[in-house]
Amino acid sequence: MHEGGCHGGPLDGQVRISRYPNGFLLGDKPTGRAWFYDWRDGAFHVRDPEPQPLTDGLMLETALGEAYDVLALPGSGDEVGAMFSAAAVSADVDGVETDEFTVLARNPNPSRISAAIWRLWTEFDRIEPSALLGGIVAEKPGYHSWRSRLPSTDYSVRDLAADRRGSGAMAAALDLTLSSAAMRTYTGRLDSAARSRDPRLYTPRGPVLREFIGTKDNRSVYCYVLTGGRPLGVGADAGPDPGRDSSHLWHIHLSIIRQFCEDWSALDGVLSVLRGESLAAWRARSEYDEMTPQQAQQLRDAYYVIAQAVPNPTGDGRVPLHVWAGWMTGAVKALATAVANVDEATKAQLQQDLDSLHAGIAEVPGEVVEALGADAEPEEIAVRLRAMLGDKATAVGQILARG
């Protein structure tokens, strides 16, 4: 990471930070202009004072590489952004629905960037004039990398069970490079939703984001951890986490819980918060918030009855495995309770019954001997057995002969 003064171009005399070794690309999306600043001699030097066109290809190539960072021109699109954002909030989301095949076709790295994360970026890009893609996938520690590449000790794998679910091949982070005003707006919206445990960020399966990092005042970096705070030193499962690097004064970082990195319904909730959409409006159109936890359990039960059912221990048909396991657990507990609560008289009666049964079994050989005659000759025993066994005598004789 480099921090230093800027020489030439729109940032002349200002201090900036680049997370990457060669410098940064400065973009002004509303006017379609861009400048490269190269890092040398402890400072950032504009490559050419005259801007070059800011194309999608240039932005994507830079954002997905690891040589140049992507920064937004300060104040870029702030006035038009406020109007555009307000219009986007009032618009009918269904009326501007993005074609999924178009989203997939534009994904520059579908083997590492899920369709859901790519759609989150493209939908946000559509509503925020100053937005530039700051990055999604990178070969470094944390959520920007894919789980199968990381060691088990990496915090984006180690701390939460939900981060060990979902695709191991997809990155699970998004960086949104924004103007100064947009940084304040979107960081504030995320913070309000996180602190109120808004269901768009907190699903029945858990929080969608591990953390977000940005700034609420353009002077200090602000990070809020939604879950897994204790391993990070937060002191609780959720709360502010100071000390993140100052590059987040210019971009918002979203760490996405890995089990949700391919779940558009979950990421749509994050987009709703960023857009400033009301919770009521999101609920009216959302598929994700329609199910109660009880309904979700019923749906899982229906799946297990169809795909993974076992015979019903108390009746006809088949039941989910967890229902069978619950019944078995209850039966064992009931038996243990019953045995523990038997009084002395019942125990004595049970022992008497067992002794009587044992004695009856023990007397069977004596009854057989008495019936056949202890001193009889084999021929006499055979005659008596033939009379007792009837038409089964031959079969029994063959078994005895083999014996």
Question: Per residue in 88-108, pLDDT tens?
Answer: 444 444 444 445 555 556 788
d(CA 208, CA 227) in angstroms, rounded, equals: 9
What does the pLDDT look like over 1-33, one tens digit per residue?
899 999 999 999 999 999 999 999 999 988 999
Higher pLDDT, 109 or 403: 109
pLDDT given at position 90? 44
Nearest to 123 by CA among 148, 150, 93: 93
Please determine, for residue 388, whether its predicted confidence score (pLDDT) is greater than 50.
yes
Q: Which two tokens stand for residue 85?
A: 């954002």
Q: Are 223 and 213 in contact (CB under 8 A)?
A: yes
| Burial class, 354, CB count within 10 angstroms (exposed 0-12 / middle 13-18 / buried 19+) | exposed
Please determine, for residue 321, whether its predicted confidence score (pLDDT) is greater than 70.
no
What does the pLDDT look like over 41-63, one tens digit per residue?
999 999 999 999 999 889 888 98
Torsion of CA 390, 392, 393, 398, to 10 degrees: 170
pLDDT given at position 177? 94
Q: What does pLDDT average to over the chain?
A: 81
Please determine, for residue 262, whether its predicted confidence score (pLDDT) is greater than 50.
yes
Find the range with the poorest average confidence among 126-140, 296-310, 378-392.
296-310
For 333, half-sphere exposure in the C-beta direction (CA atoms, 13 angstrom radius) is: 6
How much of the chain, in percent, has pLDDT values that exceed 70? Answer: 67
Please determine, for residue 268, whether its predicted confidence score (pLDDT) is greater than 90.
yes
Please determine, for residue 114, whether its predicted confidence score (pLDDT) is greater than 50.
yes
Q: How far is CA 82 from the centre of its chain?
A: 33
Please determine, for residue 260, whether its predicted confidence score (pLDDT) is greater than 70.
yes
pLDDT given at position 95? 42
Please determine, for residue 180, whether its predicted confidence score (pLDDT) is greater than 50.
yes
pLDDT given at position 335? 63
Q: Sign of the CA dihedral 315, 320, 322, 325?
A: positive
Q: What is the pLDDT averaged over residues 249-257?
A: 95
Residue 124: which pLDDT band, with cuts at 50, 70 and 90?
very high
d(CA 223, CA 250) in angstroms, rounded, equals: 13
